[in-house]
């Protein structure tokens, strides 16, 4: 997106590292086999790979659900959900500037782990994507709780500041949207 601050090369390397750790931590947390994990249909993208529709102002990330269709047939039974985790570089970077005790690696590790836990719970039908507003708030609290539990076990350096940040600012920090 033009005009919005994006992750630079060095930052992207750190974000990639955070994504790799987040994938490992969250698949372990739900005891998923590697085949099961590879079968998850999701992608994680930064601002450079987002369409204007996928950019939001406020949340650090959002999950968009797309309905995929296998090319060879148009039967509705061949439809599948695909989740795109859209990291909002500009908001993550401005938050880091505002809260200098936050570090990019643990902060993005928290954000991505949180989003992956949402995706795992949707795809295991532990939670409906289009739940009521009240149910979404309850789910948000559950996902934060689970995120913190698994990250605490992983003992990531500088994660304490991230937990403090979420304790103080916890709210509608991400956003779920549907697109056909
Ligand atoms: Zn969430």
Residue 161 has a pLDDT of 97
Residue 179 has a pLDDT of 65
- How far is the centre of ligand 1, averaged over its atoms, from the C-alpha of 118 (Å)? 7
Residue 158 has a pLDDT of 97
- How far is the centre of ligand 1, averaged over its atoms, from the C-alpha of 176 (Å)? 8
Residue 151 has a pLDDT of 97
Residue 90 has a pLDDT of 97
Residue 128 has a pLDDT of 86
For residue 3, tell me if it sits in a domain: no
Residue 69 has a pLDDT of 76
- How far is the centre of ligand 1, averaged over its atoms, from the C-alpha of 78 (Å)? 28
pLDDT in tens, the chain (180 residues): 568 999 999 999 999 999 999 999 999 999 888 777 777 789 999 999 999 999 999 899 999 999 887 766 665 567 788 999 999 999 999 999 999 999 999 999 999 999 999 999 998 888 888 888 888 888 998 999 999 999 999 999 999 999 999 988 765 556 677 765
For residue 4, tell me if it sits in a domain: no
Pull the structure tokens for residue 4.
């919005």
**How many whole angstroms separate alpha carbon 156 and alpha carbon 5?**
27
For residue 48, tell me if it sits in a domain: yes
CA distances from 130 to 1, 83, 136, 140, 167 (A): 28, 13, 8, 13, 26
Residue 132 has a pLDDT of 87
For residue 160, tell me if it sits in a domain: yes
- How far is the centre of ligand 1, averaged over its atoms, from the C-alpha of 1 (Å)? 23
For residue 136, tell me if it sits in a domain: yes
In the chain, how many domains are there?
1
- How far is the centre of ligand 1, averaged over its atoms, from the C-alpha of 131 (Å)? 13
Residue 55 has a pLDDT of 96
For residue 1, tell me if it sits in a domain: no
Residues spanned by the domain of 136: 9-179
- How far is the centre of ligand 1, averaged over its atoms, from the C-alpha of 39 (Å)? 22
Q: State pTM to two decimals.
A: 0.90
- How far is the centre of ligand 1, averaged over its atoms, from the C-alpha of 8 (Å)? 25
Q: For residue 124, what is the DSSP state?
A: T
Q: Are strands 79-87 and 42-45 parallel, antiparallel or unpaired?
A: parallel
Query: Coil, strand, or helix at residue 127?
Result: coil
């Amino acid at each position: 997106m033009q005009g919005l601050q994006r992750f630079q090369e060095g930052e992207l390397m750190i974000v990639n590292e955070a994504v790799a750790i987040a994938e490992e931590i969250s698949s372990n947390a739900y005891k998923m086999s590697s085949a099961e994990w590879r079968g998850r249909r999701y992608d994680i993208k930064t601002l450079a790979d987002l369409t204007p529709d996928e950019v939001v102002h406020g949340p650090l990330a959002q999950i968009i659900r797309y309905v995929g269709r296998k090319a060879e047939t148009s039967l509705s039974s061949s439809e599948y959900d695909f989740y795109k985790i859209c990291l909002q570089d500009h908001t993550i970077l401005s938050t880091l500037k505002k809260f200098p005790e936050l570090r990019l690696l643990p902060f993005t590790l928290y954000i991505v782990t949180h989003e992956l836990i949402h995706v795992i719970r949707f795809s295991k039908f532990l939670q409906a994507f289009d739940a009521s507003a009240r149910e979404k708030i309850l789910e948000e609290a559950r996902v934060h709780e689970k995120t913190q539990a698994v990250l605490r076990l992983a003992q990531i350096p500088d994660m304490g500041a991230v937990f403090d940040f979420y304790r103080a600012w916890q709210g509608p920090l991400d956003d779920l949207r549907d697109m056909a």
